[in-house]
Structure 1
Amino acid sequence: MEIEAPPVSRDTPKPQGERRGLVLLHTGNGKGKSTAAFGLALRAHGRGKAVKVYQFMKVPTARFGEHRLFEQLGIPIEGLGDGFSWKSRDLDHSAQLALDGWAKAEATIRAGQHFMVVLDEIMYPLRYGWIPLESILACLRERPAQVHVVLTGRNAPAELVELADTVTEMTLVKHHFNAGVPAQRGIED
């Protein structure tokens, strides 16, 4: 590790633009996309802002760690799916759940009543063709100016990357699965 001197002055100019709702995208093959989105939701909720979280791959009855905590804090979180595709018994039904879920999420975004709307794991149904990309892009372009939208998932399409205000790509450097260590409650849930 190379030691460096701490900066003594700001190295970037202070932004002078107007505050507005942002589109924030967390993508890539590394861990932490949903976790980062949940952190933003907690930060906004901590400031008294209305937040809604939609999870496109979780079932409505899911009770993972984030569901338990968000319930305690009063942050609405809703599972819209029936699990990952490899667990589905009926992919047509899974596709319909995703489309119906998108209709709910789109209505929430367009209503403008929430400071932040999180669309967790939306890239799966988008990549599978279950939700039309143009519908998502149109909603993001036309949303009320004050609404922040956070999207997560691997392999975000170039059009979404272009539209987003902030894009973070989580890069996989090393993962415990590759060493044979299974998923663990409190880490992967």
Structure 2
Amino acid sequence: MSDRDSRHKASMQKLKTRVDEKVASATEQRGLLLINTGNGKGKTTAAWGTVTRALGYDYKVGVVQFIKGLWECGERNRLEDDANLQVAIMATGFTWDTQNREEDTRACQEVWQEAARMLSDPNVYLVVLDEITYMLKFGYLDIETVKQALENRPHEQTVIITGRNAHRDLVAMADTVTEMQEVRHAFNNGIQARRGIDY
């Protein structure tokens, strides 16, 4: 065996030991709070990937779309006939289009009732609160209301929160926080969002 091969083998053995130790120490079983935040692309897409994964195991899943509900959504189109998936949509479009705080607040409160129902249902294995961070930022939802629902949800239920500028209290509560970092975005260079790729 060459020196390079020997070094590689030793390095991989050390890595395996570290991974095995982490696996052995992970003994707690419960639902998680995951946050996909940051200015980069892919927060909602990643959440839909997890929705697909959960549905693949026949788990019940709830998705609440607070912003993009009026947009076409390839993932929703593909999965909406699955009996284990329930989707609630705020359906007012982007707040910069509506420009009506009172109407947006009312619509948000209505769809939040669906979210609260999902968050209290022990049969719902995964709940996605898509773009809820904007609802908190604009004051359409109270952070304490959201925190209480998250804290009191069923023990086995996982929640994914998506959106930029996740509230610091939610970040503090979360088990996993992923920040999507924008390096370059095609839209900023005048390239239109592409069906089947961006939505």
TM-score, normalised with respect to structure 1: 0.90
In structure 2, the partner of 1:18 is 28
In structure 1, the partner of 2:168 is 158
Match of 1:31, SS state, is coil
- Range with greater deviation from structure 2 (61-70 or 49-58): 61-70
Kindly, what percent of the aligned residue pairs are identical?
A: 37
Q: CA deviation at 1:58?
A: 3.2
Q: CA deviation at 1:73?
A: 3.6
**Amino acid of the structure 2 residue aligned with 1:7:** M
Q: CA deviation at 1:69?
A: 0.6
Cα distance in 1 for partners of 2:12, 2:82 equals 38
Judge conservation of contact 1:81–1:94 (CA < 8 Å) in 2.
no
**Amino acid of the structure 2 residue aligned with 1:67:** R
Cα distance in 2 for partners of 1:140, 1:157 equals 14
Matched, 1:138 2:148: yes
Cα distance in 2 for partners of 1:16, 1:28 equals 28
C-alpha distance 99-71 of structure 1, shift in aligned 2 (>3 A): same
Runs of 5+ consecutive residues of structure 1 not aligned to the other structure: none
Cα distance in 2 for partners of 1:72, 1:27 equals 28
**Amino acid of the structure 2 residue aligned with 1:177:** F
Match of 1:26, SS state, is strand
Judge conservation of contact 2:33–2:176 (CA < 8 Å) in 1.
yes
Cα distance in 1 for partners of 2:54, 2:17 equals 26
Moved over 4 A (4+): none
Q: CA deviation at 1:42?
A: 0.6
Cα distance in 1 for partners of 2:17, 2:63 equals 35
Q: CA deviation at 1:10?
A: 4.2
**Amino acid of the structure 2 residue aligned with 1:68:** N
In structure 1, the partner of 2:121 is 111
Cα distance in 1 for partners of 2:197, 2:116 equals 30
Judge conservation of contact 2:71–2:93 (CA < 8 Å) in 1.
no
Cα distance in 1 for partners of 2:67, 2:47 equals 15
In structure 2, the partner of 1:172 is 182
Q: CA deviation at 1:62?
A: 5.1
Cα distance in 2 for partners of 1:178, 1:49 equals 38
**Amino acid of the structure 2 residue aligned with 1:71:** E
Q: Which of 1 and 2 has greater Rg?
A: 2
Runs of 5+ consecutive residues of structure 2 not aligned to the other structure: 1-6
Aligned residues: 185
Q: Deviations over 1:93-125 (max 9, x none)?
A: 111111111121012111222000111111111
- Range with greater deviation from structure 2 (18-27 or 62-71): 62-71
TM-score, normalised with respect to structure 2: 0.86
**Amino acid of the structure 2 residue aligned with 1:64:** C
The structure where helix makes up a greater share of residues is 2
